[in-house]
Amino acid sequence: MQLLTVLCLSLLLSMPLLAQRTIVGRVTDRFTGEGIPGVTVMQSRSDNATSTAADGTFLFKCIPADSTSVSLSFSSIGYMTVEQLVVAADSVRIALSGGTRCNLAPDAIIELVSGLRHTPFGGRLQAYGYRFSLPLRATIGYQTDFRRNFQQHLQLEWLGLHVSHLGTFNIGIRQQAVRNTPQRLQFRSHSLTVEAGFYHRLPVLLLGVGRARIIDERSTGFGYEGGIRHYFQPFRLTLQLTATRWPGYWQWQGEISRNIQRLRVALLLNALDQYAQLSASLGYSLY
């Protein structure tokens, strides 16, 4: 009889443990893509909570077995709190934006850029902020040799569009222009881009469509773009590669960067038909 009582009590005590489910994921900075340590992950209307590790990953338990989804809040000092409905036993990626600083004084990164061949002088500005309740990122880049050659890049992105538990999406519009007198190249393009981030260990997928024109060759048409961006945690490096197929030629673009506190160092590549430009940049974050 005593043995039966002990077994019944053990079963009753173990039922809450059997009812637990697990959610794994990663919390990142929406603007830098790096993991945020120490973020509090809490179940709504409950005391169940955990915090993210040094690389931003987390493991959340204590979800009732009869619930297919749960509402979790993600909060950290200096960031805006995010509450999201998460499917149980799923992997999620959460991107946090800066708090009051993002509403009052947008973050910005100012970079000096030097082309190693055609356009040795230039700069790039990336600004982040909220307009019309939307998190936005604007990028302006220009390089020149103070003669007739130049390279121009303009981009506006809407960041952190969540589609249920599928992932996070960024949508942007981009304009590029290149003039290179020795190769008699005048190029201009306009594109619509989409960045899709799914499981936190997978690279971000880059897709795009656009229209380009090479003036001297009178080549005009639509093209499509594909690429990836990935953050390598052990080396703290962000790598981005894209390939765009325009009518009759390819455009290859790449960037490898690393943030060192407020400093940012990067190598940039832009290869178009027979034109190729490798640039080095040094930036400073203002916030």
Whole-angstrom Cα distance, residue 65 to residue 89? 10
CB 204 within 8 A of CB 229: yes
Q: Same domain, yes or no, for 206 and 264? A: yes
Q: Same domain, yes or no, for 259 and 117? A: yes
Residue 252 banded pLDDT, cuts 50, 70, 90: very high
Domain of residue 158, CATH code:
2.40.160.40
Q: Which two tokens stand for residue 128?
A: 């982040």
CB 214 within 8 A of CB 189: no
Structure-token match 């599928």, residue found: 166
CB 63 within 8 A of CB 45: no
Whole-angstrom Cα distance, residue 7 to residue 38? 40
Give the structural domain span for 164: 102-286
CA–CA distances in Å: residue 58 to residues 38, 90, 237: 10, 12, 21
The total number of structural domains in the chain stands at: 2
Q: Same domain, yes or no, for 210 and 113? A: yes
Summarised one tens digit per residue, pLDDT across range 1-15 is 454 454 444 544 444
Domain of residue 36, CATH code:
2.60.40.1120
Is the pLDDT score of 176 beyond 60? yes
Q: Same domain, yes or no, for 236 and 199? A: yes
Q: Same domain, yes or no, for 274 and 209? A: yes
Structure pTM?
A: 0.65
Question: Mean pLDDT over residues 8-36, rounded?
Answer: 63
Instruction: State the pLDDT at residue 244.
Output: 96
